[in-house]
Amino acid sequence: MTNQAILAFAALLVFAYLLDIVGRRYRLPSVILLILTGMGLRQLLDAGGLELHWVNPLVPVLGTIGLVLIVLEGSLDLSLSAERRALILRSAAAAVLGLVACVVAFTAMFRVGLGLDASQAVLAAIPFAVISSAVAIPSSAGLPASSREFVTYESSISDIVGVLVFYAWLTSGGRWPEFAGDLLGGSLLSLAVAAVAAVGLLYLINRVEGHVRFLPLLAGLLLVYAFGKELHLSPLVLVLVCGLLLNNARLVARVPRLGALLRDGYDDTLAQFKGLVAELTFAVRSFFFLLLGYWTEVGHMRETRAVVVAVAVVAAIFLTRWLLLGALRQPGAGRLLWLAPRGLITVLLFLAGLEAGQLQAFPFGAVMLVVLATAALTSLAHRGARDEAPAVSMTDAVPAPVTASERVAERRVDPEI
């Protein structure tokens, strides 16, 4: 049994990497390939009378770890500088306004079409409003540099803000005063704790010696996340602040007495850390989507209600995005219109709502249909990208086998990110 488990684990990871290569070669989002593979595996095992009972409890655990890694990876993508101020503000406006517009549209849709109460409708709407940076960033490879940077900032901010808003709404039970308190007050307290933890991480990252350096730091970050969850703080703020501080350590150096935290070789150390986070994110994301495909009931995706909801949601996503990009006068809006995929965070947030007992009345098949449909439309936009752009993995996870600094620079839009 042990040997079989090892064989299955290794085979699935290698297979996920091969799917990543296929997706890169034919410019297909590997999220679709992974989910479809999981569904096919379910059909094969069911035909053989086999059932993997351990999948159900493992999917939420992998999802939570993946959520932390994605927020950390997204924050490590964000470079703060005066030169990028206008771009960051415009990207942040697109992410926040797009989130709000989609939540309003989806809430009205779910209230009228599904008969959900206001609290449940908002909770169901938020996951659909979040852009997946894991698919959007690599799909922007063929765009001009300014558009690629816009996609990087917009999707990363959308991920982070969407997660914070969702958990604040879930914790508040749909009550606006508690929601505002959780989102603002809890976030402020979390920011204070996060600042201390981030400085501690910045101190340790270039001083830990030995062969094992970064995994204990990541384990500590997950530990603090779990404690923050138990204390009803906003633990993802901690992850966000740590990533931002690590990637923008030069800002800390300007603070008296904190400049000594940075030592020679910090940039190389950070590049190695980013490479590890990227590969771990790839592994967790790959297993999550494979198991999610296995866990998904195909029959739920064929339900008429699920199909109608999915079509309405996809139409609303691109309608609101078209209006927003036009209002912001964003250059290249025609190509950027289709770069609004939904992915891992959409599924994770919805699973969190199900676990909390809030979204049982919602057709889960619609969630999977929206993820697959928006990823497919993003893939079509990616196929239209200029051929001179380098091919980038659709999972945005596995760097090329070169030096750590070159690995991270190759997979990011900007060398500073």
Q: How far is CA 121 from CA 7, 125, 170, 353, 363, in A?
A: 43, 6, 12, 11, 12
Who wins on pLDDT, 256 or 312? Answer: 312
Copy the structure tokens of residue 358: 């809030």
Task: Please check the confidence at residue 407 and state whether its pLDDT lies above 70.
Answer: no
Q: Taking residues 235-244, what's their average pLDDT?
A: 80
Copy the structure tokens of residue 294: 């296995």
Q: Which residues contact 361 (CB under 8 A, 6 or more apart)?
A: 114, 116, 120
Q: Please check whether residue 30 is in contact with residue 36, taking contact to mean a CB–CB distance below 8 angstroms.
A: no
Q: Please check whether residue 20 is in contact with residue 395, taking contact to mean a CB–CB distance below 8 angstroms.
A: yes
CATH code (residue 213) = 1.20.1530.20
φ/ψ region of 123 (left if φ > 0, alpha if ψ in -120 to 50, else beta) reads alpha
Q: Which residues contact 237 (CB under 8 A, 6 or more apart)?
A: 164, 187, 190, 191, 194
What's the chain's average pLDDT?
A: 81
Task: Please check the confidence at residue 391 and state whether its pLDDT lies above 60.
Answer: no
Boundaries of domain holding 67: 20-411
pLDDT-derived band at 223 (thresholds 50, 70, 90) equals: confident
* 362 falls within a domain: yes
Task: Please check the confidence at residue 64 and state whether its pLDDT lies above 90.
Answer: no
DSSP string, 261-297: G--TTHHHHHHHHHHHHHHHHHHHHHHHHHHHHHHS-
* 5 falls within a domain: no
* 377 falls within a domain: yes
Number of domains in the chain: 1
Who wins on pLDDT, 27 or 18? Answer: 18
Residue written as token pair 């307290």 = 189
* 196 falls within a domain: yes
pLDDT tens-place string over residues 167-177: 889 988 888 88
pLDDT attached to residue 368: 92
Lowest mean pLDDT among 180-194, 352-366, 377-391: 377-391
Lowest mean pLDDT among 58-67, 156-165, 328-337, 350-359: 58-67
pLDDT attached to residue 382: 63
Q: Please check whether residue 335 is in contact with residue 381, taking contact to mean a CB–CB distance below 8 angstroms.
A: yes
Task: Supply the pTM of this predicted model.
Answer: 0.80
* 92 falls within a domain: yes
Copy the structure tokens of residue 107: 């809430």
* 1 falls within a domain: no
pLDDT tens-place string over residues 68-120: 887 788 788 778 877 888 888 999 999 999 999 999 999 999 999 999 999 99
pLDDT attached to residue 386: 46
Q: Taking residues 368-380, what's their average pLDDT?
A: 89
* 417 falls within a domain: no
* 11 falls within a domain: no
d(CA 21, CA 26): 9
Q: Taking residues 5-31, what's their average pLDDT?
A: 81
Task: Please check the confidence at residue 132 and state whether its pLDDT lies above 90.
Answer: no
pLDDT attached to residue 122: 95
DSSP string, 294-316: HHS-HHHHT-HHHHHHHHHHHHH
Lowest mean pLDDT among 194-203, 204-213, 244-253: 204-213
Who wins on pLDDT, 384 or 271? Answer: 271
pLDDT attached to residue 139: 77
Query: How is residue 385 annotated by DSSP?
Result: S
Element (H, E) at 337: none
pLDDT attached to residue 303: 93
Q: What percent of the chain has pLDDT over 90?
A: 21
pLDDT tens-place string over residues 282-291: 888 888 888 8
d(CA 416, CA 78): 9
Type of residue numbered 386:
R
Residue written as token pair 């190695």 = 272
Type of residue numbered 210:
G
pLDDT attached to residue 1: 60
Lowest mean pLDDT among 111-115, 139-143, 345-349, 389-393: 389-393
Q: Taking residues 205-230, what's their average pLDDT?
A: 80
DSSP string, 180-205: HIIIIIHHHHHHHHHHHHHHHHHHHH
